Amino acid sequence: MTHGRRFAHPPHPEAIPLSLYVHWPWCVRKCPYCDFNSRRAPKLLDEEAYVDRLLAALDRQIEAAGVRGRTLRTIFIGGGTPSLMTPEAVGRLLEGAAARIRVAGDCEVTMEANPGTADAARFAGFRAAGVNRLSLGVQSLSTPILKRIGRIHDADGARAAIRAARSAFENFNLDFMFALPGQTLEELEGEVAEALDSGASHLSFYQLTLEPGTAFGKRPPEALPDEDAAAEMGDMVESRLARAGFERYEVSGYAKPGRRCRHNLNYWTFGDYLGVGAGAHAKWTNSEGVWREAGERVPSRWAARVDAGGTGAVRRRIPLEDLPFEFMLNALRLVDGVPSGSFRDRTGLGLDAVEPVLGRLRAEGLMADDPGRLAATPRGLRFLSDLQEAFL
């Protein structure tokens, strides 16, 4: 039975870029603000067995999604702290992926790293294994602040990791957080200056959010900057980076020309992606619909599911009526939004599905008044979650 008829404008899956996300769910220890699927690594961690299961799950997902004939444009090894892996395991993972599905010659291969697990030899090993972009979680360059947010490294450790990143990678990102406990605008200005001096091609500045269920969510730290102070910090970051040639292209993402993160851009433009590992997400399009998989989050349960012959994940088709929200949730994070035509190409729905809401949001000045684009205005970006929810 085919449900293809249910699309008003059936998408062409082979024209949708395909990525791969691999999740490594362990860290040295859990940071108190973090709600990613991560936990302290056990003493005896069998990375060989984890990589074997990643590849078994990938094989089955490629089959289930019917994407064997497509080409991977980007790969992202995220976490957790994937820099806990040995370069040998990373090499085996990347070779194993390439043995199962075609990988583009210019594939962007990113790996996340924590400065507490970094040294130059290790980074060189990752580079030799096929990683060509590193994303380093610096968070702050103030030792007292790093202590307050429970990081495993101090400021000099972060600086050493930045030097190691620069020695091994031409293309690297640094993650910072701001509006951190006890942080002042002047301190943050100093960090921005160091970030601009670091040789990074991409910078991410995330405002600290207190996530429910985390240690900080339950018991907020003292001396948090208030909303006005946080907004002032965000404005300062944006203008300083712009002056230095880093364009803000996403809510928290800044890049030098040509250095936007292609993997994340594929998420935000509602592209397709395979996803393997504990807690990993996948999304793909075929003639029957748009599908999602959500991986079991607990590593031992994920492993048991894979050993039983599955992908370790729960699969579901996204109901057609949910597609507009899912599309906008991603697209509106981009400062320039997306071309209007991509709504139809990626969701299989006509723009008439969102026309009334779109009209209202344009009239309210939350979305750009441009029929050729779907984009938030600067005001819309500031109230992004309200804007996204309008499409629910």
One of 59, 108, 154, 175 touching ligand SAM (CB under 6 A): 175
Distance of alpha carbon 24 from alpha carbon 216, whole angstroms: 23
Nearest 5 degrees, angle CA 190-CA 195-CA 197? 95
Partner in contact with 298, chosen from ligand SAM, ligand SF4, none, beta carbon below 5 to 8 Å by kind: none
Chain positions 113 to 152 lying near ligand SAM, rule: CB under 6 A, are 114, 137, 139
Distance of alpha carbon 262 from alpha carbon 217, whole angstroms: 32
Partner in contact with 269, chosen from ligand SAM, ligand SF4, none, beta carbon below 5 to 8 Å by kind: none
Binding mask 21-40 for ligand SF4 (x = CB under 6 A): ------x--xx--x-x-x--
Q: Is there binding between residue 114 and ligand SF4 (CB under 6 A)? A: yes
Residue 27 or residue 89: which is nearer to ligand SF4 going by CB? 27
Chain positions 47 to 86 lying near ligand SF4, rule: CB under 6 A, are 79-81
Distance, first Cα to last Cα, the chain: 29
Distance of alpha carbon 251 from alpha carbon 260, whole angstroms: 13
- The closest of 234, 176, 259 to 381, measured between CA atoms, is 234
Residue 120 or residue 320: which is nearer to ligand SAM going by CB? 120
Smallest distance, ligand SF4 to C-beta of residue 43, A = 17
CA dihedral 25, 27, 30, 36 (to 10 degrees): -30
One of 36, 123, 126, 391 touching ligand SAM (CB under 6 A): 36
Binding mask 67-86 for ligand SAM (x = CB under 6 A): -----------xx-x-----
Smallest distance, ligand SF4 to C-beta of residue 85, A = 14
Distance of alpha carbon 188 from alpha carbon 234, whole angstroms: 10
Q: Is there binding between residue 177 and ligand SAM (CB under 6 A)? A: yes
- The closest of 271, 222, 340, 325 to 67, measured between CA atoms, is 271
Unique residue bearing structure tokens 């921005």: 192
Query: Is the distance from CB of 51 to CB of 92 less than 8 angstroms?
Result: yes
Residue 296: how many other CB atoms lie within 10 Å: 21
One of 206, 297, 362, 373 touching ligand SAM (CB under 6 A): 206
Binding-site ranges for ligand SAM (CB under 6 A) = 33-34, 36, 78-79, 81, 112, 114, 137, 139, 175, 177, 206, 208-209, 211
Binding-site ranges for ligand SF4 (CB under 6 A) = 27, 30-31, 34, 36, 38, 79-81, 114, 137
